[in-house]
Amino acid sequence: MTSEISNPLPNDSATRVEPESLLPELIPESSEMELGQAPGPLEIETTLPTASSGLDSLLTGTMDLPLEQETQPLDKPRLETVAASGSLSPLDLPPASESSSAILSLEETKQQLTAEILTLQTQKATLLSEQLSTVQAAMEKLVTENIRSLEQRKQSLEVEIERLERRQERIQQEMRTTFAGVSQELAIRVQGFKDYLVGSLQDLVTAAEELELTNSDPWTVSTASPEPIVNQTDNNPKVTFAEQSFEEQRRQIQRLLEQYRTRPDYYGPPWQLRRTFEPVHLERVQSWFFSQGGRGVIKSMGSRLQNILMGSAVISVLANLYGGKEGLSPRSRALILANSPERLGEWRRGLQDCLGISRTDFGPERGIVLFESPDALIQKAERLVEERLLPLVLIDDTQEQVDLALLQFPLWLAFAPDSSQPTSNYFY
């Protein structure tokens, strides 16, 4: 074991070295053990070649070994002993116990990862369900608020629609009562005045009959020659309603007014009254004709349309007395004075409805002229008088002041507002 080997593998090819002679030097005697036991560490002299160099020399040498020895593998215990000594690189796999422990560790890691994956999936599903429930709750809240807002808007719109429908019905009712059957509506509204005025009207009729009986002789004398009077009015119309010498003209006026009251002709010719004429209207118009001589004030009825009805009756009577085939043209003119275009428009529509005339009958050279300023009316009336025509001035009840120059004309009718009854700027 301690002998030195100067040249274990000589270059001489003739020299033959038996491999068995080298094995005792490479592998100690104590290394022979049973199969399966771990060999101990080898103690080799430093002067001896290492196991790896010996093996290399054995494997790469030019020794003439038998074929069976060249192909025979080394014993497994010997190889394990060499590998365990650390002088050679490990050639075998780790032991089976270490592999099984690694496999068990990997399986445990796999199980842990699988459990973590399942836990994460469960958490993901939980979060998704929570988010979905939150989104659904928010959507339900938003939809509920929108529905509530829409319901409130719907209710407000329904209220507005009901208000507009009521307003439409009221306007339609006013239109029906204003433009169709106006006189009948007026007759219904003035029914309450009838009972109050029946007694006074009867007293007035009785007094009038007594006056006719007492003055019967002068009247018969004065009606003896009516023709010259009529010829005189052809050149210059003269108003003599209150003079007793013109009894025929007085009776004609009474006959026309009574006809308007008892037998209204709703489809008569133009410039004839087409509306119902009540006794209260008859009384005031007769008073203006006979008591005031065609120049005076009539107390307003509290409605502009009723004032227009009385003014239309006066215009219709004058059309029969002084007008030709074309009504008031060319013998007489009606001049209307009101302080606003709206009221003048009401006068125009009311006169068209009561007299059956059209818009062409209104104008500076036509039968009816509308004025907002009293100065312009006075100038027009003066020109008519110079042209030997008969102007009729009608003053609306809204005129708080009346120009004294208006009182110089032969015919003027002013409507005075009733202090006990508020004046309406509308038809009713």
Q: Which of 97-126 are b and which e, b meaning 16 or more Cβ less than 10 Å from the residue's Cβ?
A: eeeeeeeeeeeeeeeeeeeeeeeeeeeeee
Q: Which residue has the tokens 């009207």?
A: 201
Give yes or no for residue 34 having a pLDDT over 60.
no
Q: Which of 29-38, 156-165, 278-287 has the lowest mean pLDDT?
A: 29-38
Q: What is the identity of the amino acid at 51?
A: A
Q: Exposed, middle or buried, 338 (CB in 10 Å: 0-12/13-18/19+)?
A: buried
Give yes or no for residue 254 having a pLDDT over 50.
yes
More confident residue, 20 or 97: 97
Distance CA 286, CA 391 (A): 19
CB-CB neighbours of 32 under 10 Å: 12
- Cis omega before residue 374 (within 30°)? no
Q: Which of 21-25, 161-165, 173-177, 323-327 has the lowest mean pLDDT?
A: 21-25
Distance CA 167, CA 161 (A): 10
Per residue in 351-362, pLDDT (tens digit) is 998 988 888 888
Per residue in 38-66, pLDDT (tens digit) is 444 444 444 444 444 444 544 444 444 44
Rounded to two decimals, what is the model's pTM? 0.44
Per residue in 262-303, pLDDT (tens digit) is 888 888 888 888 888 888 888 999 989 888 888 888 888 878
Give yes or no for residue 333 having a pLDDT over 90.
no
Please, what is the average pLDDT of the chain?
Answer: 72
Per residue in 368-422, pLDDT (tens digit) is 999 988 888 999 999 988 888 889 999 988 887 888 888 888 899 999 887 665 5
Give yes or no for residue 306 having a pLDDT over 60.
yes
| Average pLDDT over every residue of 97-101 | 84
Distance CA 152, CA 261 (A): 57
Sheet holding 295-299, edge to edge: 295-299, 411-416, 390-395, 332-337, 368-371
Give yes or no for residue 322 having a pLDDT over 60.
yes
- Provide the CB-side half-sphere exposure for 405 (13 A, CA): 10
Question: Coil, helix or strand for 389?
Answer: coil
